[in-house]
Amino acid sequence: MTEVGTVTTPTTSELQTMPMAKALNAGLAAAMAADERVLLMGEDIGTLGGVFRVTEGLKNTYGEHRVLDTPLAESGIVGTAIGLAMRGYRPVCEIQFDGFIFPGFDQITTQLAKLTNRHEGAQAFPIVIRVPYGGHIGAVEHHQESPEAYFAHTAGLRSVSPSTPHDAYWMIQEAIAANDPVMFFEPKSRYWQKGAVDLAAPAVPLHSSRVVRTGSDVTVLAHGAMVSVLLQAAELAASEGISLEVVDLRSIAPIDYAPILESVRKTGRLIVAQEAPGNVSVGSEIAATVAERAFYSLEAPVLRVSGFDVPFPPAKLEGVFLPDADRILEAVDRALAY
């Protein structure tokens, strides 16, 4: 047996193919089965199973005392979770859509993020806040946003984002097992993208980035839904004789820079992609840090490909706003031109 935090996993293989939403459901179920202190809270997550059906069936299995339908009050959801954590529970809150997290922003950033420090570590706050985020679903305003930079900037919070069903299954369990508050950003456009999930594979550490496709000419890096776009771009680039190394960030805060820097020192070039606007963003931080730590390895400036610095547009314009493989390849051409 292998111990990963408090997540215990056997070393044999048990592969299943499932969409990310189902993988998250299975991961939540595994965490609830392993620890009766784990409970779920959110708007419409019980009887309905959530807007995206991520919690479907869990109320029937674990009862309404552990899968709680809450009022439409994000501040109340987070505030209640803080009180439950202080009483020894491990709450998992769902924010129904990314753009509606801001009514709970004060509770998250001025209370939850600071409480461990305020108690000098004597009190744990093992709270996970699940946030479906990002575009590509043709939704209206406040239903397609990428607010991860706000929380990555806030000391006292961890922030992660899976890009595959396998990572979703294991990362949600690791997040629940952590004794710190974790912002868990779920790329909603990938909820129904299927992938292999090894239910028995030892979990990769929660806060680790990793190379998901090796290459030699340019390093391209992203998190969440953008990783699939990078892999698509890498296939297209390969047909033109250009080798892209793709890095999945996985953890937004803290960032695991070791694989990133190793890759950049090999390729000499880095492109950071994200759905969020580029100004004062996660991509900005990575670009600055790589420039500091690997300056003499760079053969071109670090380039960023992002959403534009405007509010998320109506659905008919989201294809213009969100980076696609063509915009990634245009940045690759610029990087190689130096």
Q: What is the DSSP string of 227-278?
A: HHHHHHHHHHHHTTT--EEEEE--EEES---HHHHHHHHHHS-EEEEEEEES
Rounded Cα distance between 287 and 302, Å, is: 6
Beta-strand relationship, 15-19 and 194-198? antiparallel
241-244 LR contacts (CB < 8 Å, sep 24+): 242/217, 242/218, 242/332, 242/336, 243/215, 243/216, 243/217, 243/218, 244/213, 244/215, 244/217, 244/218, 244/219, 244/220, 244/332
What are the Cα distances from residue 318, in Å, to 98, 103, 135? 16, 25, 7
- Is the CB of residue 249 less than 8 Å from the CB of residue 223? yes
Structure tokens given for 290: 């790589």
295-328 confidence digits (pLDDT tens): 999 999 999 999 999 998 888 888 899 999 999 9
Per 3-state DSSP, the chain is made up of helix, strand and coil in percentages (nearest 5) of: 40, 20, 40
Q: Is the pLDDT of residue 8 over 60?
A: no
Rounded Cα distance between 78 and 81, Å, is: 5
197-222 confidence digits (pLDDT tens): 999 886 689 999 999 999 999 999 99
Residue with tokens 């300056």: 295
pTM of the model: 0.93
One of 65, 119, 142, 143 is an active-site residue; which one? 143
- Is the CB of residue 105 less than 8 Å from the CB of residue 183? no
Rounded Cα distance between 135 and 50, Å, is: 18
Q: What is the mean predicted confidence (pLDDT) over 59-67?
A: 96
Q: Which domains does the chain have, with CATH numbers?
A: 13-198 (3.40.50.970), 210-337 (3.40.50.920)
CA torsion 260-264-267-272 (nearest 10°) is: 70
Worst-scoring range by mean pLDDT, 105-119, 171-185, 196-210? 196-210
Q: Is the pLDDT of residue 233 over 80?
A: yes
pLDDT confidence of residue 231: 98
The pLDDT confidence band at residue 143, using thresholds 50, 70 and 90, is confident
Structure tokens given for 140: 């209206």
Structure tokens given for 305: 């490909």
Environment class of 300 (CB within 10 Å of its CB; exposed 0-12, middle 13-18, buried 19+)? middle
pLDDT confidence of residue 10: 47
**143 belongs to the catalytic site:** yes
Rounded Cα distance between 269 and 211, Å, is: 15
